[in-house]
Amino acid sequence: MKAIIFNEFGSSSVLHEGEVPTPVAAKGEILIRVSHTSVNPVDWKIREGFLKTMFPHIFPISPGWDAAGVVESVGEGVTSFKRGDEVYAYARLPEVHSGTYAQFIALPEAAVSLKPKTLSSATSAGVPMVALTAYQVVHNVAKVAQGEQVLITGGAGGVGSYAIQLSNLLGGIVTSTTSTKNREYVSELGAKCIVDYTEASATSALQGAAPDGYDVIIDTVGGEALTEAVAFIKPGGRVVSVVDTPKGGTFHFVYASGQELTAIATLFDAGSLRAPETTVRSIREAAAAQDENRTRRIRGKVVLAVDL
């Protein structure tokens, strides 16, 4: 099959189109014909070698941990899916080798879900990693509760946009940081208070939004933004970051869960979740898309059509 691959760590220039063996659905697995994938920070971090000690890897590597497409075949014992089903998945495997910048990927049945009926395949491809991350943080780690003050850094990004909505659904009172150009967008997502991190008054605004401090801080930015946010946590409050390990808090790295993706699909189909803005590009533009993602100035999701 055709795929976008790289044979050594480096800049986006190492990405190129190549031929790799087509995977086969083993026992308990599903073979997905990938129509769309998406670009996430983890893609370029892996490509540049930043995560080579965190995840075992085998060259050549095809990037990508998000997939939307159609079931091509199922392995022995698979009962939940059949050929032709429209599905989506968070596609992280034990070794960094076979990714979703490719025509096919084989995944465990438990990692896959039927895609939301109300979303296109392109939009669905931008959902799994970021929505699962937000869902697991909000529901399982931070455990946001009714009436709690919740601060979310980077509300216009993929994870932040879902964290705002999911916290609202649980009754949280959300404050979110964002840039000037994204204030309206973050407000539409449901943030009750918006703090423009580009303004000199940002620190006082963070304090003013929750004078008694925040019950929960969900960080999607890391670095100085996380350090500044932690200063406003209530005693006994919960701090969760998906980027860094916060002092006195928890770092969360998303895990695959078809069951939770099904819950997320149900929320979409009920009209309770809104997908971030989606920009679709050809997978042949993967290098430029990864470079753009690296700037951390992305609003919503960039999705790649697997048009190899």
**pLDDT band per the 50, 70, 90 thresholds, residue 282:** very high
**pLDDT score of 297 more than 70:** no
**Percent of the chain topping pLDDT 90:** 95
pLDDT in tens, 171-199: 999 999 999 999 999 999 999 999 999 99
Better-predicted residue by pLDDT, 151 or 247: 151
Is pLDDT above 80 for 298?
no
Topology classification of domain 130-251: Rossmann fold (3.40.50)
Mean pLDDT calculated for residue range 70-76: 98
> Given this model, what pLDDT does residue 233 score?
97
| pLDDT beyond 90 at 300 | no
Query: What's the confidence (pLDDT) of residue 295?
Result: 85
Does 21 have pLDDT greater than 70?
yes
Asked if omega into 60 is within 30° of 0 (cis), the reply is yes
CATH assignment, 2-127+276-305? 3.90.180.10
Task: Read off the pTM.
Answer: 0.95
Look at residue 276 in the predicted model and tell me its pLDDT: 83
> Is 169 a residue whose pLDDT tops 90?
yes
Q: Across the chain, what does the average pLDDT equal?
A: 96
**In which band, very low, low, confident or very high, does the pLDDT at 277 lie, cut at 50, 70 and 90?**
confident
Domain ranges of the chain: 2-127+276-305, 130-251
Condensed to tens digits (0 to 9), the pLDDT of residues 98-152 reads 999 999 999 999 999 999 999 999 999 999 999 999 999 999 999 999 999 999 9
